[in-house]
Structure 1
Amino acid sequence: MKQLKREQEFGDDPLARRETDNYQNEYVESFVDKWDDLIDWDSRAESEGHFFIDILKERGKHKVLDVATGTGFNSVQLLKAGFDVTSVDGNAEMLSKAFANARDHSFVMQTVHADWRWLNKDVHGKFDAIICLGNSFTHLFEEKDRRRALAEFYAALKHDGILILDQRNYDAILDHGFSSKHKYYYCGDKVTAEPEHVDETLARFRYTFPDDSVYHLNMFPLRKNYTRRLMHEIGFQKVSTYGDFQDKYKDEDTDFFIHVAEKTYHEGE
């Protein structure tokens, strides 16, 4: 008997689903199968260039923990560049897809299925750097979960480790409405991704694919300075923020912010 594919679950009132754990009901197999159409690996690689690789190499980092592996794009880029990468995700469907994608690029990915809030229970050892990319931190809806996750990241880093974490420019979406150049991250030109509802505690995005299938993600709209403040309060000594991979940018013109949080502050910087 053929097993029916699981569909996304948001309940009778999707706008009321504002819980961290609901992402497990969102990243169902059929959505994960289409995720790479949304990203477009080749276009995303072109838009990012060597940004993350350069940051890691400039700081002498080699052992990297990718805590938001998704379908594996960033892990595979780092493996190609010679980094020692461990790939983590809280969703088993994503990890399975990432492993297959890495295999297609001739790599055997080291994967760990783990929840950020209890990361160090499942992931052992210390890392030079942690990356949390793809707007993934926005899946944490409660401040206690965000603080807990950042504390777990902090604990998994070596004394001079760094955390690279990104997010959509939710400030612009909340204050001025949604617009996107679609040049970064979600580069697939046949997929539309746009918010269906936005308020201070929910950004509900709708994803429409060429076959007319529709999926949604409920996310918490993180403001830039709020994220930076949390990082400092957890213990990171210095936080540098880039806009669309540039150190000089205008907030209102930026699609994505990338925060580089350093555990140790170096004199002279």
Structure 2
Amino acid sequence: MKQDHFASLYDFLMEDAPYESWLSFAERYLVKQGRVLDLACGTGTFSLMLARQGFDLTGVDISADMLTVAEGKAREAGVDVDFILQDMRELQGFQQLDGITIFCDGLNYLRQQKDVKQTFFHLATALKTGGVLLFDVHSCFKLEYIFDHQLYGENGETLSYLWFSDPADEPLSVQHTLTFFNKKENGDYERMDEEQYQRTFEPHVYKQWLEDAGFHNIEITADFGEKDVEEEDDRIFFKAVKK
């Protein structure tokens, strides 16, 4: 599927995403009215929510088409957010930030250990001393059991989709294959296909990489920071402070 098609369908897939819970988690740690970078911002829904809470917000994503949708949302809402096209592995041009967020498993799209390590170093460089990094990732349990040969789907009036999740070649990785059927005005259906690859690592491995990059006061939790991690939790949350 062309990226512009996927960008146009992304919000449909994210209709039930827990944005309010992410916002509550972020506001617990971010400096009020601070300079915040929303990394892997997608179509900007969460970026706009942060901006409405008074943060000086910049959104960054690797997809130009996602950012086009995000910019359109910001104009329509009258919210001042800068959106910038960059790869998180090569993040540059940011200094003295108060906070960085990477939610909705954005970090899981990095396939190699070196990519995650490199990203953490760039994020540490962009933050001021005492600045906060907040992110979530898929748990190992989710990759091994929940995404194990699973099929998801929805049959809507104008848009339907099938979503297959199968184990990929690397440890704790998954290949998502999505097929969309979009109903056109003449009643015909247009088929669009998209593939996504994700990988995760053990929480203690992320913690070590964060420490190596210059972070401390690292907290690892589940349920949007509300409880300690248990074996069957599907999403793991991190808070780390720049030394």
Fold shared per TM-score above 0.5:
yes
Structure 2 residue aligned with 1:25: none
Q: Is 2:175 the counterpart of 1:204?
A: yes
Structure 1 residue aligned with 2:96: 126
Q: Residues 66, 45 of structure 1: CA spacing in aligned structure 2 closer, same or farther, 3 A cutoff?
A: closer
Q: Residues 162, 192 of structure 1: CA spacing in aligned structure 2 closer, same or farther, 3 A cutoff?
A: farther
TM alignment of 1:218-229, pairs within 5 A:
218-229=197-208
- Whether the 8 Å CA contact 1:235–1:263 is kept in 2: the answer is yes
What's the TM-score, normalizing by structure 1?
0.74
Structure 2 residue aligned with 1:173: 142
Distance in structure 2 (CA, Å) of the matches to 1:155 and 1:201: 28
Structure 1 residue 242: deviation in Å? Answer: 2.2
Distance in structure 1 (CA, Å) of the matches to 2:168 and 2:221: 24
Q: Residues 229, 125 of structure 1: CA spacing in aligned structure 2 closer, same or farther, 3 A cutoff?
A: closer
Structure 2 residue aligned with 1:54: 28
Structure 1 residue aligned with 2:5: 30
Indicate the SS of the match to 1:137: helix
Distance in structure 1 (CA, Å) of the matches to 2:219 and 2:101: 14
Q: Residues 257, 61 of structure 1: CA spacing in aligned structure 2 closer, same or farther, 3 A cutoff?
A: farther
Distance in structure 2 (CA, Å) of the matches to 1:178 and 1:117: 26
Indicate the SS of the match to 1:247: coil
Distance in structure 1 (CA, Å) of the matches to 2:20 and 2:95: 33
Q: Could you list the structure 1 runs, at least 4 aligned residues long, displaced by more than 4 angstroms after superposition.
A: 190-194
Q: Residues 250, 162 of structure 1: CA spacing in aligned structure 2 closer, same or farther, 3 A cutoff?
A: closer
Indicate the SS of the match to 2:224: coil
How well do the aligned residues superpose, as a CA RMSD in angstroms? 2.6
Structure 1 residue 33: deviation in Å? Answer: 0.6
User: What code does the residue aligned with 1:37 have?
Assistant: F
- Whether the 8 Å CA contact 1:174–1:198 is kept in 2: the answer is no
Structure 1 residue 119: deviation in Å? Answer: 1.4
Distance in structure 2 (CA, Å) of the matches to 1:117 and 1:250: 27
Q: Is 2:12 the counterpart of 1:40?
A: no
Q: Report the structure, 1 or 2, having the larger helix content.
A: 1
- Whether the 8 Å CA contact 1:38–1:191 is kept in 2: the answer is no
Structure 1 residue aligned with 2:85: 113
Q: Is 2:141 the counterpart of 1:157?
A: no
- Whether the 8 Å CA contact 2:220–2:229 is kept in 1: the answer is no
Distance in structure 1 (CA, Å) of the matches to 2:129 and 2:49: 25
Indicate the SS of the match to 1:50: helix
Structure 1 residue 201: deviation in Å? Answer: 5.6
Structure 1 residue 177: deviation in Å? Answer: 4.3
CA displacement, residues 9-41 of structure 1 (integer Å, 9 cap, x when unaligned): xxxxxxxxxxxxxxxxxxx11011100011117
Distance in structure 2 (CA, Å) of the matches to 1:94 and 1:225: 32
Q: Is 2:232 the counterpart of 1:253?
A: yes
Q: Residues 208, 99 of structure 1: CA spacing in aligned structure 2 closer, same or farther, 3 A cutoff?
A: same
Distance in structure 2 (CA, Å) of the matches to 1:47 and 1:174: 22
Gaps of 5+ in 2: 153-159, 183-190
Q: Residues 193, 56 of structure 1: CA spacing in aligned structure 2 closer, same or farther, 3 A cutoff?
A: farther
- Whether the 8 Å CA contact 1:243–1:256 is kept in 2: the answer is yes
Distance in structure 1 (CA, Å) of the matches to 2:95 and 2:49: 22
- Whether the 8 Å CA contact 1:202–1:219 is kept in 2: the answer is yes
Q: Is 2:58 the counterpart of 1:86?
A: yes
Distance in structure 1 (CA, Å) of the matches to 2:197 and 2:144: 19
Structure 1 residue 47: deviation in Å? Answer: 4.5
- Whether the 8 Å CA contact 2:225–2:237 is kept in 1: the answer is no
